[in-house]
Amino acid sequence: MYNYKNVRPELESMGFRNLGAVYWNASTPMLYEEIIRRREGHLAHLGPVVVRTGHHVGRSPNDRFIVREPTSEEKVWWGPVNQGIEESRFTNLFYRLLAYLQNKDIFIQDCYAGADPEYRIPIRVITETAWHNLFARNMFIQMREKEEADQHIPQFTIINVPRFYAIPELDDIRSEAFILIHLGKNLVLIGGTSYAGEIKKSVFTMLNYVYPQESVLSMHCSANVGKKGDAALFFGLSGTGKTTLSADPERYLIGDDEHGWSEKGIFNFEGGCYAKVIRLSKEAEPDIYECTRRFGTILENVTLDQNSRRIDLNDNSLTENTRAAYPIPHIPGAIREGVCGHPSNIIMLTCDAFGVMPPVAKLTDEQAVYHFLSGYTAKVAGTEMGIKEPQATFSTCFGAPFMALRPEVYANLFMKKIKTHRPTCWLLNTGWSGRPYGEAARIKIAYSRALIRGILSGDLDKGEFDQDPLFGFMIPRACKDVPSEILNPRVSASDPKEYEERAKRLAYEFVENFKQFGDRVPKGVKEVLNVG
C-alpha cells in the first residue's frame, strides 16, 4: 500500500520532505478502513460512506484563481470567472503547504482523465484525507495493472489539503479557502475547503484548456447511446435534469457530466459520477437511487441516522447540494470503455421559471450555437440564499466557471462539429411552460422523458412544427404521451398579452448577456432572436 523505495524520489522532486506514511494507489476497501480509523466518515446501511464537508457545501468560485504565467497568459479568458494571481503568490503558498505536510500521512491516486486512449491524460491526485482519495479513485479512470501504475508519469497533479488555510492578507486572495491552477506547471493547489467537487472541476478546467488546442471540443454535458449506436449529448446546468435524463434504462450511459468530442466521436473524461441526490426519487431515478446504497459510494452531507445508519435523502438541513460520488459501473448498462460515435442528437436543457420556453423546440445550427454560448436556465426561490423570485442565469457553454479559454474557441469548435457530423439539435425545458413558477406546476418528468424518447427515436423530428416568432425555434405540434396543449406556451398561457411581455423580457436578457461576446462568434449566430 505504501513503499518509500519506489515513490519518495518523485515526491522529493516536487519539494515534499519528511512525510509520514504515503498511501499510494490504495484500493477502495483499504481507503474505507482508513476513513473509519481516522474518523473521517461513517459507514451507512448497505455500504456507502457518509462524510461532511463542513462550512463549504459547494464550490467556492470566488476563491478560484489561475496563475498568470507566460505560457498561458495570452490564451486564458480573464475576467470575473478566471481571476488571475501572480506566480510569486502561488509559489509562496505552495512552499507553506509543503511545510504543513511534513510529518503528515498523505494519500496518492494515480489515474487518468479521458477515456479515449488517444487523448488519455495521466493525472495524480495527492490528498490529506483518505476520503478525498477515494473520491479521486471513484471519479477518474483507474489503472488495473501494477505495471501500468509503476510506469505512470502524471501530466496533471492536484494537491488537495483541506486543513491547510491561506492567509488572505499575505496571499492576496479573498479568504482562507483557495483553488489555484497553474496551467504552465499543470499543477493545482486546493486548501481550506473539504468540498470534493473542487478536485473534479479543477481537472475539468485543465482539460478545457488543453483539449480545444488539439481540436477536441471539451463539453460540460452527459452522454448516452442507444442499441443502434445512436449517441446523444445532454447539456444543462445544475437542476435542469442532465444526470437524471441521461440515466435511461433503455440506453447505455457514457458519462453524466464531462466529455470530449474528437474526430472519432465522444469520450468520457471521467470514470465515475457525481450526482446531486437531494430528494432523489426511487421511482423516477431508480439507477441513481440504488447507487446511494452501494459499497464504494461517497455521500456528501447526506443526513444519517446514527443508530440505524440509514440515510435520509429528503433532509436538506445541511445543504440542498447533497452529493453522491460513485464509479460509473455502479450504473447498470454503463459503458465502461466510456466512448461512442458522433452524436445523432444534441439536447440543451433549461429549467425556465418564467414559463416562456416550450417543453421542447428544434434548433437550427446557428440557434444551437447561440444557446450553447448562452447556457440559460433560471434560479428559483430556495436554490440559493437571497433568491426570493425567479432569476435568469447564463453560464457560457453551460460551464462558464470551468472554461479557461475564450468563449469563441469553444463556439467555433462546436459549430464545426455540428456542421460536419449533422446532429439534430434541441432545446428542452424541464421547468415551467405557459405560466411561470408560483402560478403552475413544473413540467412533469414523465413528459420530459416522453419528449426525450420522441427525440431519440426520430419520431418527433418527423412531425409538424410551428415557428416561434420571437426566439425563432420550431415547436412540435404533437408528441406521444405528452398533452398537445402544453407543447406551445403561447397557446397554453392563460393571458396571451402577459405571456408576450414575459417572453420579451426574457429575450432582452438573452440579448444583453450575448453582448459580452461581441462579434467574436460564428457568422449568423447573433441574429437568431427576432427582438425588433
Distances (CA, A) of 368 to 25, 362, 372, 412: 42, 9, 6, 12
Catalytic residue of the set 68, 89, 200, 220: 220
The answer for residues whose C-beta is within 8 angstroms of residue 527's C-beta and 6 or more apart is: 366
Supply the angle between the helices 496-514 and 365-374 in degrees, to the nearest 10. Answer: 80
Beta strands, E only, 199-329: 217-225, 231-235, 252-255, 258-261, 266-268, 272-276, 298-300, 303-304, 311-312, 323-327
Catalytic residue of the set 56, 323, 342, 379: 323
Tell me if residue 257 is catalytic. Answer: yes
Tell me if residue 519 is catalytic. Answer: no
Tell me if residue 435 is catalytic. Answer: no
Catalytic residue of the set 56, 89, 132, 242: 242
Tell me if residue 243 is catalytic. Answer: yes
Catalytic residue of the set 243, 350, 395, 424: 243
How open is the CA angle 29-32-33, to the nearest 5 degrees?
90
Tell me if residue 315 is catalytic. Answer: no
Residue 21's SS3 state is coil
The answer for residues whose C-beta is within 8 angstroms of residue 94's C-beta and 6 or more apart is: 15, 189
Tell me if residue 38 is catalytic. Answer: no
Bridging pattern class, strands 83-86 and 106-113: unpaired
Tell me if residue 96 is catalytic. Answer: no
CB 179, CB 65: distance < 8 Å: yes
Tell me if residue 59 is catalytic. Answer: yes
**b (16+ CB within 10 A) / e for 271-294:** bbbbbbbbebeeeebebbbbbbbe
Beta bridge partners of 303: 312
- Taking the C-alpha atoms of residue 413 and residue 489, their distance in angstroms, rounded to an integer, is 33
DSSP 93-113: HHHHHHHHTTT--EEEEEEEE
> Which amino acid is residue 525, in one-letter code?
V
- Taking the C-alpha atoms of residue 193 and residue 176, their distance in angstroms, rounded to an integer, is 9
Catalytic residue of the set 110, 257, 287, 468: 257
Q: Would you name the residues annotated as active-site residues?
A: 59, 201, 220, 238, 242-243, 257, 323
